[in-house]
Amino acid sequence: MILDALILQSKLFLSEDMDINIKGVEVENSSPDKLVLKDYTSMIGTGGKLNSMIVISFDNLLLDKLVELFMDGEQVEDEEFEEVRDSVSGETINTIIGLALPTFPNRGKGVTITPPITINDASNIKKYKDSKILSANITTDFGTLSISAMGSEDTIK
């Protein structure tokens, strides 16, 4: 399942690469009509053999911690902070999807990936017609990361 791969790679990225303690993972068992977003969100679309939208949403404190870790202690000027946050959010979702891709159907062959886009002024995303939303929340010492896959049931299962 796509969500399982995304959860595993998110956990590995946070705990192994970023040395952030994971307190728990909660998988949502129902497919809501809309996806409620956290403070900061990035999305990547997949196409070809896997048509879906993958959404990662961060609590502010967690994204701020990731910015600190990515910048390796280097100070970020106030006027550059939003740009750096966008970059870190995009790099995080790129990394997670890149690591999960070999576990997607057909080992990810034939799957195209769009560049990440950042959303920080929306509160939710509504699903399209018969699409399904699969989501999980990964709780850390710095807040929660939500990861979701949206697409047709046969595509994202």
Q: Is 157's pLDDT higher than 70? A: no
Using one digit for the tens of pLDDT, what is the confidence trace for 52-93? 889 999 999 999 999 999 998 788 888 898 899 999 999 999
3-state secondary structure the chain: CHHHHHHHHHHHHHHHHCCCCEEEEEECCCCCCEEECCCEEEEEEEEECCCEEEEEEECHHHHHHHHHHHCCCCCCCHHHHHHHHHHHHHHHHHHHHHHHHHHCHHHHCCEEECCCEEECCCCEEECCCCCEEEEEEEEECCEEEEEEEEECHHHHC
Q: Is 110's pLDDT higher than 70? A: yes
CATH of the domain at 53: 3.40.1550.10
Using one digit for the tens of pLDDT, what is the confidence trace for 17-42? 999 999 999 998 776 777 888 889 99
What pTM, to 2 d.p., does this model score? 0.88
How many domains, the chain? 1
Using one digit for the tens of pLDDT, what is the confidence trace for 125-139? 766 777 888 999 999
What is the domain range of residue 146? 2-156
Instruction: Work out the average pLDDT over 120-124.
Output: 70
